[in-house]
């Protein structure tokens, strides 16, 4: 379903149908965006769930000032950032204050199963890691990465270049060992 | 063209095709520059590995099933009802009109105020129904 049709459905308050359409169109994009933040498939899926629960709750308040995709990606980014902050706080909590099992670390966590060059991506600074991950997940589209991360294409490109240079350096170092 | 410019263009080429003139200049530079040739080789190898080993991230049907369960326990405001703002507005209008009345209040005033609130509620239902019938109404 195209964005225009989804927009029309929201305007007509056919929220259930619009929500189905949003899921069809954006669930995998939101999942990949969440993965670029968490680097963990299971956690990314949980966050994608959280994003769509929020979307369902606030869909009646969508006011069409931005496009549906821009609005949806903003909710997805904010959800991921809040979750990362929450997870970071939990990790910093002393063990005797934690009543549940220790929070999972995303990098190299059980669901990551990334190997080879993708495991090197984990060592990059956060922004570069997100950009390069989404670039390859989104079929090498600078424009799409920019839309997902709300970044100008020039910024995406500059993060990508820095990431490539750093990865090449890491590959060389790995090869030299 | 110096090595920094050539390497920037080599990286650009991995994101999108270069202009023919830029491509010629880079190739010309590579003919005479061993470090840039090594840089180009390494970057192409890196790009190929990233592309070939990119994880496949597609959600399966289980995602929808779990989401449906989560949404079932968090029903939003029912679609057939007018927006919450209408209902609260009607209730406040009724309460306000009752409170400002002189005491003792006659039953006529009470009934009139309640009917005004009910009227607002029914109006919102009718407006919503009309919106549903005609999408061009701009509701």
The C-alpha of A89 sits at a distance from chain B's nearest C-alpha, in angstroms, of 25
pLDDT in tens, A105-141: 334 333 444 567 888 898 899 999 999 999 999 988 9
Q: What is the pLDDT of residue A95?
A: 55
Distance CA A142, CA A160 (A): 9
Task: Report the distance separating Cα A53 and Cα B70, nearest Å.
Answer: 8
Q: Which of A30, A123, A46 is nearest to B57 (CA)?
A: A30
Cβ atoms of residues A104 and A11 within 8 Å: no
Examine the predicted complex and report whether its ipTM is higher than 0.90: no
Domain boundaries, chain A: 1-113, 114-177
A124 Cβ contact partners less than 8 Å away, ≥ 6 residues apart: A132, A163, A166, A167
Q: SS3 letters for A117-153?
A: HHHHHCCCCHHHHHHHHHHHHCCCCHHHHHHHHCCCH
For B30-89, the pLDDT digits (tens) are 998 999 999 999 999 899 999 988 888 999 889 999 998 888 765 555 555 666 667 777
Least confident range from A20-29, A152-161, B5-14, B125-134: namely B125-134
> Of residues A1 and A145, which shows the higher confidence score?
A145
Residue A44 to residue B63, Cβ atoms within 8 A:
no
- For chain B, give the mean pLDDT: 79
Nearest residue, CB atoms, A167 vs list B46, B55, B59: B46
Report domain extents, chain B.
3-52, 78-137
Question: CB distance A171–B46 less than 8 Å?
Answer: yes
Q: Determine the distance in angstroms separating the CA of B78 from the nearest CA of chain A, rounded to an integer.
A: 10
Closest by CA position to B16, among listed A139, A171, A141, A114? A141
The pTM of this model reads: 0.71
pLDDT at residue B3 is higher than 70: yes
B83–chain A Cβ distance below 8 A for any pair: yes
Question: How far B113 CA lies from chain A's nearest CA (Å)?
Answer: 30
Q: Which of A64, A155, A62, A170 lies closest to A124, judged by CA?
A: A170
pLDDT given at position A88: 82
Q: Bin A76: left if φ > 0, else alpha if -120 < ψ < 50, else beta.
A: alpha
CATH for A114-177, options being 3.30.390.30, 3.40.1390.10, 3.30.70.1430, 1.10.10.10: 1.10.10.10
pLDDT at B87: 75
Q: Where do runs of H (alpha helix) occur along chain B?
A: 3-15, 20-32, 34-52, 61-72, 84-99, 107-133
Per CATH, domain A1-113 is 1.10.1740.10: yes
């Amino acid at each position: 379903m195209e964005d225009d049709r989804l927009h029309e459905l929201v305007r007509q308050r056919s929220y259930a149908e619009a929500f189905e359409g949003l899921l069809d169109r954006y669930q995998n994009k939101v999942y990949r965006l969440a993965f670029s933040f968490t680097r963990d498939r299971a956690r990314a899926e949980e966050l994608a769930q959280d994003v769509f629960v929020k979307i369902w709750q606030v869909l009646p308040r969508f006011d069409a000032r931005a496009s549906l995709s821009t609005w949806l990606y903003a909710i997805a980014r904010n959800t991921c950032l809040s979750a990362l902050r929450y997870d970071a706080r939990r990790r910093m909590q002393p063990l005797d204050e934690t009543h549940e099992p220790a929070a999972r670390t995303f990098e190299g966590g059980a669901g990551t199963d990334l190997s080879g060059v993708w495991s090197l991506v984990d060592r990059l600074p956060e922004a570069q890691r997100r950009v390069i991950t989404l670039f390859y997940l989104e079929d090498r589209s600078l424009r799409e990465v920019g839309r997902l991360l709300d970044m100008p294409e020039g910024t995406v490109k500059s993060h990508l270049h820095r990431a490539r240079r750093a990865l090449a350096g890491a590959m060389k170092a790995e090869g030299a060992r | 063209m110096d090595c920094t410019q050539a390497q920037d263009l080599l990286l650009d080429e991995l994101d999108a095709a270069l202009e023919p003139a830029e491509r010629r200049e880079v190739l010309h530079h590579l003919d005479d520059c061993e470090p840039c040739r090594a840089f180009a080789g390494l970057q192409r190898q890196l790009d190929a590995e990233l592309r070939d080993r990119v994880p496949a991230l597609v959600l399966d049907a289980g995602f929808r099933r779990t989401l449906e369960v989560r949404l079932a326990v968090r029903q939003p405001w029912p679609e057939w009802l007018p927006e919450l703002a209408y209902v609260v507005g009607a209730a406040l209008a009724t309460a306000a009109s009752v409170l400002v009345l002189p005491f003792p209040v006659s039953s006529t005033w009470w009934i009139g105020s309640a009917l005004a609130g009910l009227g607002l509620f029914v109006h919102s239902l009718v407006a919503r129904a009309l919106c549903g019938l005609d999408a061009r109404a701009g509701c």
